[in-house]
Structure 1
Amino acid sequence: MTSEELLADLRALGVRTGDLLMVHASLRRIGLSRAEAGADGAERLHDALEAAVGAEGTLMMVLGSHYEMDWVNKGPLEARAALLAGSAPLAQTTAPAMAEVGWLAETFRRRSGTILSDNPSGRFGARGARAPELMADQPWHDYYGPGSPLEKLVASGGRVLRLGANPDTVTALHYAEYLAELPNKTRTRWDYVIADSGGVPRHVWIDCLDDSRGIADWDGDDYFVDILQAYLALGRHREGQVGKARSELLDAADLVDFGTRWMEANLK
């Protein structure tokens, strides 16, 4: 499977020159896993995506940060400072992407020219014409909310490209969680050790809506899955095949608006 074949599939799906795309993809489902495609499968897809949007376009991915001490964040707040004392600081610019977002995201982070946002929890990467503005000034707290790369994606007419991605993989819906008018949204806190401008380690934390377990109780496993399935049933997206993967192209603003209203109607 060549980059040229993947580019043809992306064009058939509706990807255009100049697009701003947030990408979620499964290399395995596309047929580009290392077992099937060798070591350069991810790079072939990156090449195809960049060719599809061209020099005027922009690609964005959610990365998060792999943090060896992240287990501390499962414990009580009052114990975290002691548990983190003396641990190595998280290297925000060089830390790998968190494992759950996949190898494609990690190769995107490593690719020359990728710009990273400055937040250890809600870290994004972007490449292309609008990358600097998308990654600039991300909030420290509530990093998926107002002022975030997600808000900029929506405001700029961006689209969400899902290439065989799991149904719970729709990061743009985290922005909808901030927009939804609901009482008593569940919040959480993530603690880190980072180095200050002088290289001195310090304990910091981030307050945000709970983007791990959800902002409200829900009887199902993950309400993002229900929202995505309900949205796709409307038929307002483009659908096709990229490589071997069923793929979707969705308008980010329309998806977020639908997700906001769904949460207000279904979450309590």
Structure 2
Amino acid sequence: MSEADAVERVDEPGTVDSLAADLRALGVERGDTLLVHSSLSSLGWVAGGPQAVVDALQTVLTDDGTLVMPTHTGQYTDPSVWENPPVPDDWVEVIGESMPPFRPDVTPTRGMGAVPECFRNYPGVVRSEHPTVSFAAWGAAAEEIVGGHELDYGLGDGSPLARVYDRGGDVLLLGVGHGNNTSLHLAEHRADFEKTRTRERAPLLRDGERVVVEYDDIEVETDDFEAVGEAFERQRGATEGPVAAATATLLDQPALVDFAEDWFESNR
């Protein structure tokens, strides 16, 4: 979406104050633990762009709350399976040997959108050290949530997703659908159905040296995420409302994960 399109979508610009008011009306409260997935373009034109969105979220949550966002880095997956775009076979070894090590303070997100890319650079934000599925957090429980992110099964029980679950957190889908809802991956890991196990490798920085680490994971799917999310909303409920020009959905994360775990066992 062009900036001109964003202007056309709204009668007046979004601001930190107007976004904060919309978030409060939706049900976001001071002290919440909030896992946010977002699309900046869905909001229409916002004065300050992604910075205004982050400022508004922090304003509503305050230092007593905790703001969490996925800061994934698909460029650290196996290049032999890349599809968007694929790379020539003779590039794969070169990429694997030359990719700079993942560094939480430096490495940019890929395909996550403008808001988490902005958020990861904010003062006081800490980021987990997983090379492909890191999360960033700010606020009272930031270190608790992103610290100790296990390499094996990085969206499973050793992940920040599970720590949000333990704290009874909420998920905010800000102009995006359940296809972007990373909490469903936690349910996917917990559910009892046949999974394809994989062995992954990526470079990290350890004691100032580039070290290639290997770790276990599963092949994740998202094709049915919209279906399970819609089923949850029909049967258990969620809060939906406007934030600027976007439709936003606020969900209880533990309830969603528990529901999706059962749904996956019955439908996969």
State the TM-score bracket (shorter-chain normalisation).
0.7 to 0.9
Aligned mates of 1:255, 1:181 — CA distance in 2: 16
Which residue number corresponds to residue 75 of structure 2? 67
Which residue number corresponds to residue 189 of structure 1? 199
Deviation by residue 1:232-265 (Cα, 9 ceiling, x = unmatched): 2225211111011111100000000110010010
What letter matches 2:197 in structure 1?
A: R
The 1:153–1:69 alpha-carbon spacing in structure 2 relative to 1, beyond 3 Å, is closer
Aligned mates of 2:205, 2:60 — CA distance in 1: 39
Which residue number corresponds to residue 18 of structure 2? 5
Q: What secondary structure, in the 3-state scheme, does the structure 1 residue paired with 2:35 have?
A: strand
Q: What secondary structure, in the 3-state scheme, does the structure 2 residue paired with 1:193 have?
A: strand
Query: Displacement, 1:25?
Result: 1.1
Indicate conservation of the 8 Å contact 2:103/2:205, yes or no: no
Which residue number corresponds to residue 119 of structure 1? 130
Deviation by residue 1:23-61 (Cα, 9 ceiling, x = unmatched): 011111111xxxx346x2111111110011111000000
Which residue number corresponds to residue 241 of structure 1? 242
Q: State the Cα RMSD in Å.
A: 2.2
Determine which of 34, 39, 48 is the counterpart of 1:21.
Answer: 34
Aligned mates of 2:264, 2:55 — CA distance in 1: 37
Q: What secondary structure, in the 3-state scheme, does the structure 2 residue paired with 1:206 have?
A: strand
Indicate conservation of the 8 Å contact 2:76/2:202, yes or no: no
Aligned mates of 2:217, 2:96 — CA distance in 1: 23
Runs (4+) of structure 1 moved beyond 6 Å?
Answer: none
Which residue number corresponds to residue 51 of structure 1? 59
Q: What secondary structure, in the 3-state scheme, does the structure 2 residue paired with 1:154 have?
A: helix
Aligned mates of 2:77, 2:149 — CA distance in 1: 23
Residues 1-268 of structure 1 aligned to structure 2 (within 5 Å): 1-31=14-44, 36-37=45-46, 40-65=48-73, 67=75, 70-74=78-82, 82-84=93-95, 86-93=97-104, 94-98=106-110, 100-182=111-193, 184-199=194-209, 201-211=210-220, 214=221, 222-234=223-235, 236-267=237-268
Deviation by residue 1:73-130 (Cα, 9 ceiling, x = unmatched): 549xxx99944564142232211011x2111110011112110011111200000000
Aligned mates of 1:66, 1:181 — CA distance in 2: 26
What letter matches 1:193 in structure 2?
A: P
| Deviates further, 120-129 or 160-169 | 160-169
